Structure 1
């Protein structure tokens, strides 16, 4: 009886603490900025490229962003059960039985969460799903949602595919013959003991989907042209390509000219001094993905592999084996091309600084030499496929990646965050059915970018104010932003938590759909059995509305139970 009373007191105390916490947050005055969906903000978030006028609920729904997860009207029990069975593989028979019983207990007692969209918006979702006259998709750059007429989209894609220099119409589907060829190679490598049975099963093409093309709309360009993207997932060489990437990736990015991200670029520019007679300039490759010469790339990869002394530590495959499997590598070609271009550049336009991210290049060159350097770069590729365009600094400023480079009077550089005119300031909506830690991750990413890129304190304050305003518009209360700021300053606590995690026994990880009030309870159940959980949104607007690709036949669906 005494134990019961003590337990009762503890639970009452927890409940009162929770009530106090909620009341404090309610008193903080975290008013969310109202979104004017009739004006500028709507036009940034929803780009309607059709003659059809969307209803107010349709606009309101799409303005939430395509990554917005709508609350479910049915608990996805099947997905939770599959995750539980996967988690049971590393447990003993008794532990697995206990896990199943605990999960079943949770699923029997849960309730469907409250809807996070209005009744009118839910009806709008049904209407948009049924309407085949329009296509809804994300913009090519930025997070805007684009509404396009289906006929117009198909016409633009067909026009793109009619370019015979880039695309060739096939008489039939070669997937079957390619699959037989790949299986033959894998069987030979297994027989020669260059891959083991596990690797053979991983690389074996169980799925045989033909890669599918679709396009995204470039809303930042006149006429809304489209950018082609090929979906390679589920194709016969998908797993092989991933394996080759692991083998080849250590060979690239080793030159002093390569940068991996904006943070690294900011560190590089921190000590740069630019003379008055020099300028910042950038070059960009025209359509690199469709113009990279495959045969020349394979020659370059062969040279790299032959000179790689660490290759045998990563794989038993030799150069000939890898080239036989390899179909396309991009970064290696650009690295070879830049080394050739820099080494042979005329003295007058020799870059004093050269930093490249994939096909975007930042340089410091002498004033008046931009055209000469561009002509030199356009002649560097022996196949004559790769061509460059350039942009010079204007009024001492030049955008590169997501940084705006500003030259100061003393020759030093200050950096701020760069946003294109089409940037929508749209982030994951706080009302979305996502775990709280993922929403806080959005805040952390934006604040971390401010700290790592922006160089001067006044600019950092302005950037933080801009971030806070944008997040408020997306429904983020101030307490969420302040919570992340506190976490970022309390680094010692974060390190301690990391140490505690590494000491725990690990029985693997499972991925479960996120349903508010359900997934958190199941996460605690899995944690008791030392199983980590990752949560993914279950019912996003993108899953419901974005279907630009040809539908895959049910029989060809891959990676399913």
Structure 2
């Protein structure tokens, strides 16, 4: 099976052909790589010399945890690097220090009696919802209660947990709150659910400290569950494997075109290239604006229906359009959803050039949602936007993962 000979990629304005390896970005590549690694490690372990054969071998993607004798670390590494004929896979190693070694997001600690323990802690100062931080405490306490049998050992382990959590910035009240919750018996849920208590779906919102919690409490009053996700991560900021596409070549967009002389904005949508649609708007507006403005021509233009509301604005106000500031404000491949998002953008503008509220009327928009989305299972994603004045506002988008009616 050939995985790489036809792979092309664009980087820094140049097209490259991948010469080796599985296709980057292909959903098949991780599966193929994992199959190859399983074959490679099975061959390596089966043929490893007895003096360096590992007692434990656990792999997750490209991170491996192994238990091997101290004298067998280097011989085993050399043996692993000799298995791959292409010489493209290189194994390196990291030894434990002071009886500790990190693996994935855990810290494995070797006790004096030979047993090990795992430390998985989230720093309290990190930008995460409070319930996730309390979940760390609850997990450690629950593990202590279920695994350790002797009361004296439980007390000793709890002291270790408190000490470790204190190092990670956890205040005493966080531990006390979790212990109180665990000691309070849960009430049995009534199997017969009231109509008013039924869940009305889930909302996924980015986590912004102090804001997301208030939104979650508001949704809870209407029996809508809330899940939070990070909206600004190191991956988003640092990892950019593909070149940014020129907005003028982007298709299936909602766009906004401002006026130079006033605060009015035109909002439109197109399934074609954004740059092509701008050219059409500009050609008509500049043609109309170049005509000699006499009293007779002005009277005739009042009765003439132009193709675009931008042209109407140019003729009526005698203003100039700021074509350089035209921008894409949304992207949606589905035509009806794009019409809905266009209508939302029109409603968000304080001063609008548009003649109407978009392609779909309010009745048509509601009919579309009613025919395509189940009213009792609805998934909505909310995205935060930060203006130059640090004011936060939220835009709601109906996701395609909504449950559709038959």
Q: Please, what TM-score do these two structures have when normalized by structure 1?
A: 0.32
Larger radius of gyration: 2
Q: Please, what TM-score do these two structures have when normalized by structure 2?
A: 0.43
Give the structure with the larger helix fraction. Answer: 1
Give the structure with the larger strand fraction. Answer: 2
